[in-house]
Structure 1
Amino acid sequence: MQLKPISQQVVAIVGASSGIGRETALRFAKKGAKVVVAARSQSGLVSLVEEIKQAGGDAVYVLADVSEFEQVKAIADKAVETYGRLDTWVHAAATGVLAPFDQITPEEFKRVIDVNLNGQAYGAMAALPHLKKEGRGALIHISSVEARRSIPLQSPYSASKHGVEGFLEALRVELQHEGWQISVTNVMPSVINTPYYNKVRTKLGVKPTGVPPYYQPSIVADAILYVAEHPTRDFIVGDVGKVLDVMQRVSPSLVDNLLLLIGFAGQRTDEPKSEDAPDNVFEPIEGYDRVEGDFGNLAIPTFTDWLDMNPPLKWGAVAAAALGVAAVIGGLFPGKDA
């Protein structure tokens, strides 16, 4: 499957007013892509488009609530109306409610599912007809490592991310069966330093946080730009996420016990915050139209992502390690002479 170089792409980025989406839009535009950005925050979109244009890029924006299919469809339609086609769809919009499950209302749970799961599905539904018209393209859906392992106090968010993985797996095989050259990628970040924890609803009595360590949004943008040119099934961003995925596969009960130790206190800061404080669950909020959040001091570098973006070196390293292990075992248990 061959995807276009980024410089030749028309890219729609949903959830672009802040965080991962904003950083990704800036990076696509810097590489020469024509960019359509969408979110609920008009101030965030206006400032983003201005930043892109001041740097010599080409971008337009669409106000959209992803829980409404017609508004999502308008994003894809705007790309075709403005630039003549759509090559890549990047879907990053998300919200959340941090609280014990029995303190979350049915309306709150439904809203998170509507935005994080149904919104992602609507994005694929809106983009696919245009990608099929071009004969190739990329669907890039930003979910979370919580697609692989749920976290306490985040039940609706975790449920939505599991759902994204489920529908993408089905869709990917359907497209392969029909012979379409359309890449479907699930990008699963670890804990990322974005304004997400400033904007979501909390019933913990304090401002919430992800369980450290954090990674900066730039590493997710690196992965997104990579898979926009290199068809990739899944991409877990951040070393900690990869380790958690392996641990979950080996022993879910071990991860249960780990989360009992760190998963509750680890999601609370010392900063008081009422559940009545403004949040973005049902309406956008102002003041957070930026890439990074408040936890840059807890961010660390990642190492394995680079290997994932350089497969020959990755598998060479794996082969070398396997040979090394085999040599050690051979030295411990030498064979008898014939």
Structure 2
Amino acid sequence: MQLKPISQQVVAVVGASSGIGRDTAVKFAQRGAKVVVAARSELGLKSLVEEIQGFGGDAIYVVADVSDFQQVKAIADKAVAKYGRLDTWVHAAATGILAPFEKITPEEFERVVDVTLMGQVYGAMAALPYLKQEGRGALIHISSMEGRRSLPLQSPYSTAKHGLEGFLEALRVELEHEKWPISVTSILPSVINTPFYNKVRTKLGVKPTGIPPYYDPSLVADAILYVAEHPTRDFIVGDVGRVLDALQRVSPSLVDSVLAAIGFVGQRTNEPKSEDAPDNVFEPINGYDRVEGDFKNLIIPSFSDWWDMNPTLKWGAIGLAALGIAAFLGGWHDGKDV
């Protein structure tokens, strides 16, 4: 499967007013792609398009609530109307509520699923006809490590991300069966320093936080740009995410115990915040149209991402390591027989 170089792509980035989506849109434009950005925050989208046009990039925006299929379809339609085609669809829009399950209303739970899962489904529905029209392309869906391992106090969000993983698996096989050269990628970030925790609803009595450590949003944006040119099934961002994925496969009960010990205190800051404070669950809120959140002091580097974006070097290093171990064991065995 061959994807176009980014400089030749028309890219839609949904959920682009802040965080991962905003950084991704800027980086696509810097690489020469024509970009269509969408979100609920018109102020955020306007400032993003102005930023992109300021360095000579080509971008337009569409205001859309992803819980409404017709609004999502309008994003894809406008991309094709403006630029003649659609090559890559990046879907990052999400919202959440941090609260014990028993304190979440049916309407709140449904809303998080509508935005965070159904919005992604609608995105694929809207984009696929145009990707098939081009004969190739990429669907890039921003999931989460919560799609592999749910967290306490985030049951709606974890539910949505698990549902997204199931949806993408089914869709990927259908496209393979139909022999469409369309890449379907799930990006699974660890905890990322974006304004997500500023904007979500909380019923914890304090401002919420992800369980540290955090990673820089640029790591996720770099992964997205990589898979836009290199068909990839899954891409975990952050070393901690890869460790969590391995532990979850080996012993889910061990991860249960770890999260029971750290998952409740680890998602609370010391900053009081009322559940009546403004949030973005049902309506957009102003003031957070930026890439980074408030936890820069908790950011650590990640090393394994680079290896996954350089697979030849990765497997070469693994092969050399295996040969070295084999040679060592062979020499040790020979020495014992002497």
Shorter-chain TM-score: which interval? over 0.9
Question: Could you tell me which residue of structure 2 aligns to residue 291 of structure 1?
Answer: 291
Q: CA separation of 1:151/1:327 partners in 2, compared to 1, >3 Å: closer, same or farther?
A: farther
Q: Which amino acid aligns with 1:159?
A: T
Deviations along 1:147-170, whole A, 9 cap, x unmatched?
100011101101100111101001
Q: Secondary structure at the match of 1:183?
A: strand
Q: Which amino acid aligns with 2:318?
A: V
Deviations along 1:175-205, whole A, 9 cap, x unmatched?
0110101000000000000000000000000
Question: Could you tell me which residue of structure 1 aligns to residue 174 of structure 2?
Answer: 174
Question: Could you tell me which residue of structure 2 aligns to residue 225 of structure 1?
Answer: 225
Question: Could you tell me which residue of structure 2 aligns to residue 165 of structure 1?
Answer: 165
Q: What is the TM-score when the length of structure 1 is the normalising length?
A: 0.98
Q: Which moved more, 1:314-323 or 1:207-216?
A: 314-323
Deviations along 1:33-77, whole A, 9 cap, x unmatched?
000000000000000000000110000000000000000000000
Q: Secondary structure at the match of 1:90?
A: strand
Q: Which amino acid aligns with 1:21?
A: G
TM-aligned CA deviation for residue 327 of structure 1: 4.0
TM-aligned CA deviation for residue 337 of structure 1: 6.5
Distance in 2, matches of 1:260 and 1:80, equals 48
Deviations along 1:315-338, whole A, 9 cap, x unmatched?
112223333443444455559879
Question: Could you tell me which residue of structure 1 aligns to residue 195 of structure 2?
Answer: 195
Q: Secondary structure at the match of 1:270?
A: strand
Establish whether residue 150 from structure 1 lines up as the match of residue 124 from structure 2: no
5 Å-filtered alignment, 1:34-113, equals 34-113=34-113
**Unaligned segments of structure 2, at least 5 residues:** none
Q: CA separation of 1:106/1:331 partners in 2, compared to 1, >3 Å: closer, same or farther?
A: farther
Distance in 2, matches of 1:336 and 1:211, equals 48
Q: Which moved more, 1:181-190 or 1:255-264?
A: 255-264
Q: Secondary structure at the match of 1:277?
A: coil
TM-aligned CA deviation for residue 111 of structure 1: 0.4
Q: Which amino acid aligns with 2:76?
A: A
Question: Could you tell me which residue of structure 1 aligns to residue 9 of structure 2?
Answer: 9
Across the aligned residues of Structure 1 and Structure 2, the Cα RMSD in angstroms comes to: 1.3
Q: Secondary structure at the match of 1:283?
A: coil
Establish whether residue 33 from structure 1 lines up as the match of residue 9 from structure 2: no
Q: What is the TM-score when the length of structure 2 is the normalising length?
A: 0.98
Deviations along 1:111-149, whole A, 9 cap, x unmatched?
010001000000000000000000000000001011100
Distance in 1, matches of 2:202 and 2:182, equals 38
Question: Could you tell me which residue of structure 2 aligns to residue 271 of structure 1?
Answer: 271
Question: Could you tell me which residue of structure 1 aligns to residue 139 of structure 2?
Answer: 139
Q: Which moved more, 1:317-326 or 1:30-39?
A: 317-326
Q: Which amino acid aligns with 1:155?
A: S
Q: Which amino acid aligns with 1:88?
A: T
Structure 1 moving runs of 4+ over 6 Å:
335-338
Distance in 1, matches of 2:7 and 2:139, equals 17
Q: Secondary structure at the match of 2:174?
A: helix
**Unaligned segments of structure 1, at least 5 residues:** none
Distance in 2, matches of 1:222 and 1:77, equals 27
Q: How many residues align?
A: 338
Q: Secondary structure at the match of 2:76?
A: helix
TM-aligned CA deviation for residue 257 of structure 1: 1.0
Q: Which amino acid aligns with 1:44?
A: G
TM-aligned CA deviation for residue 263 of structure 1: 0.8
